[in-house]
Amino acid sequence: MSTELITKLREMTGAGIIDCRNALKESNNDINKACQWLREKGMATAVKKAGRSVKQGLVCSYIHYNGTLGVLVEVNCETDFVAKTEDFKNLVKEIAMQIAAVAPTYVSREQISISVIEAEREIYKAQLKEEGKPEKVWDKIIAGKLEKFYSQICLYDQNYIRDTASKETIKDLVTNAIAKIGENIVIKRFARFKIGEEQ
């Protein structure tokens, strides 16, 4: 089973990596049957909900046990009813703990300015030139390096700290919650504070 096929199915359905892998396994790698399988299981509904308005939610705080590290995060959903559910509260708490542990800079890659991305590209080009790599392969290598860069600084792209074996990202975690809860969910913003660290 190829990574490309799993990625394509995720883009089509919004389902998580594990669900996509299971769907492809159940459908002998037939992507259309895999989509149908996910729909039947209620896992492909997240994509339809992604455009819906989110004006409710929670602001959650997480303070590390010794009081030297703290996080505030705002996660939005569609209704006050869902914001009060244990599933939603637990999701927001998990996201706050992720921010505390891994220290992302942005919620998503869309928030990164073009100038920051271009500066990274220039660094990678200089490295590749120094290593003597042929220019014709630079674009592919730089694309891979940028993906790694996003996975380090963007919350949605980070691997979920509680499930490192499956390579589930925070985006997968949120997408799976959307499918389970039945409402659009968006991580709006966060702030992370650590004693002695410059802002």
Per-residue model confidence as pLDDT tens digits over 160-187: 998 777 788 999 999 889 888 888 899 9
> Whole-number mean pLDDT of the chain?
86
At residue 121's C-alpha, the angle toward residues 119 and 127, to 5°, is 110
Higher-confidence position of 16 and 49: 16
d(CA 141, CA 147): 10
Higher-confidence position of 47 and 127: 127
Separation of first and last alpha carbons in the chain = 44
Residues 73-88: what's their mean pLDDT?
A: 93
Whole-number pLDDT of residue 15: 72
d(CA 42, CA 180): 8
Higher-confidence position of 42 and 162: 162
> For a pLDDT cut of 90, what percent of the chain falls above it?
48
Give the DSSP letter of residue 53.
-
pLDDT band at residue 96 under the 50/70/90 scheme = very high
Residues 110-120: what's their mean pLDDT?
A: 91
Entry pTM: 0.71
Whole-number pLDDT of residue 72: 96
Sign of CA dihedral 86, 92, 95, 97: negative
Whole-number pLDDT of residue 196: 82
Residue 182, amino acid: G
